[in-house]
Amino acid sequence: MIRAIKIGMVLSMMAVVVGCNYRSNVMMKTKKDYQFDPPPQEREAEYVVSPSDILEFQLYTNDGSVLVDLTAIKEEKSSIGSPINPQYLVEFNGNVRLPLIGNLDVKGKTIRELETLLEETYSKYYIKPFVKLKVANKRVTVFPGGSGQAKVVPLLNNNMRIIEALGAVGGLTPLAKAKRVKLIRGNLSNPQVFLFDFSTLEGLQESDFVLQANDIIYVEPRSDYFQQLIRDVAPVVGLLTSTITLIVVIQNTTKN
């Protein structure tokens, strides 16, 4: 009887090991022959405006002395923010609809370039306009290589790099693969996917470009097979051990 139970224990443990998927926590997998996109050659020194950005700006006259209430303009229908800080969505084609001036192509411009363009455009309607602009939804998602460690990181400045975003979440986890740092950018139906090796200085140099809103940084985790095996097998071993102990006690009691 005891021997049969021991055999059952071994078979149960083997079944648990075979049935477990020890790579189930790995996201955004790519095939071995996947062709990653080359790092951008033209590297902007600052953040550039792109589709889906939400622009929040304030317009002043006389070089900043008087704030203009943009929401009071009759033509204004596209504001999605408060009257003090109206917000405007950059559409998929790179245009944004603004009061008085209508549609304006803003894609690919830095914050300062766009501020200058808006000041020049609004000079037709106001005396010495001054524009204060920011992107309200500028953030990236970072997976630093460990379960439950992902965070959304606001891009607080206009020139944040990958290494800074990783630093903002506490750096790589002990299980992270520094050689497998992925950056996913653009429309998720057909994104750009970059791969960097952060275990070398060359890899860090290749990643030296400005992050854009909605970028995803994913560091592939290593699988800790031994610890996962213990977690999976321990309940089975405990149950079978308790069963054997109970049978031994019953047998000894019966003999006595």
The backbone torsions φ and ψ at residue 54, rounded to the nearest 5 degrees and listed phi first, read: -110, 115
Q: Quick check: 106 pLDDT over 80?
A: yes
Q: Tell me what pLDDT residue 25 has.
A: 61
Which one-letter amino acid corresponds to residue 13?
A: M
Beta carbons within 8 Å of 30's beta carbon, 6+ residues apart:
36, 182, 193
What value does the mean pLDDT take over residues 106-116? 93
Q: Tell me what pLDDT residue 162 has.
A: 95
**Strands, E assignment, 36-129:** 54-61, 66-68, 87-89, 95-98, 102-105
Q: Tell me what pLDDT residue 78 has.
A: 47
Closest CA to 76 of 61, 57, 53, 50: 57
Q: Quick check: 22 pLDDT over 70?
A: no
Pick the more confident residue, 76 or 98. Answer: 98
What value does the mean pLDDT take over residues 107-115? 93
What value does the mean pLDDT take over residues 81-86? 62
For 89-95, the CB contacts below 8 A with 24+ separation are 89/52, 89/53, 89/54, 89/55, 90/49, 90/50, 90/51, 90/52, 90/53, 90/54, 90/55, 91/51, 92/51, 92/52, 93/51, 94/50, 94/51
Q: Quick check: 108 pLDDT over 70?
A: yes
Q: Tell me what pLDDT residue 129 has.
A: 92
Instruction: Give the predicted TM-score (pTM) of the model.
Output: 0.68
Low-confidence winner among 40-49, 149-158, 179-188, 202-211 (lowest mean pLDDT): 40-49
Q: Tell me what pLDDT residue 96 has.
A: 95
Q: Quick check: 207 pLDDT over 50?
A: yes
Determine the Cα–Cα distance for residues 144 and 148; give it in Å rounded to an integer: 10
Low-confidence winner among 12-16, 36-40, 44-48, 245-249 (lowest mean pLDDT): 12-16
Look up tokens 């909605």; give the residue: 214
Q: Quick check: 24 pLDDT over 90?
A: no
Q: Quick check: 123 pLDDT over 90?
A: yes
Residues 104-116 as b/e (b if ≥16 CB within 10 A, e otherwise) read bebbebbbeebbe
Closest CA to 210 of 146, 173, 154, 161: 161
By DSSP bridging, strand 139-143 and strand 216-221 are: parallel
Q: Which stretch of DSSP H or E encloses residue 172?
A: none
Give the CATH number of domain 139-221.
3.10.560.10
CATH architecture of 54-135: 2-Layer Sandwich (3.30)
**Beta-bridge mates of residue 140:** 153
Domain boundary assignment for the chain: 54-135, 139-221
Which one-letter amino acid corresponds to residue 223?
A: S
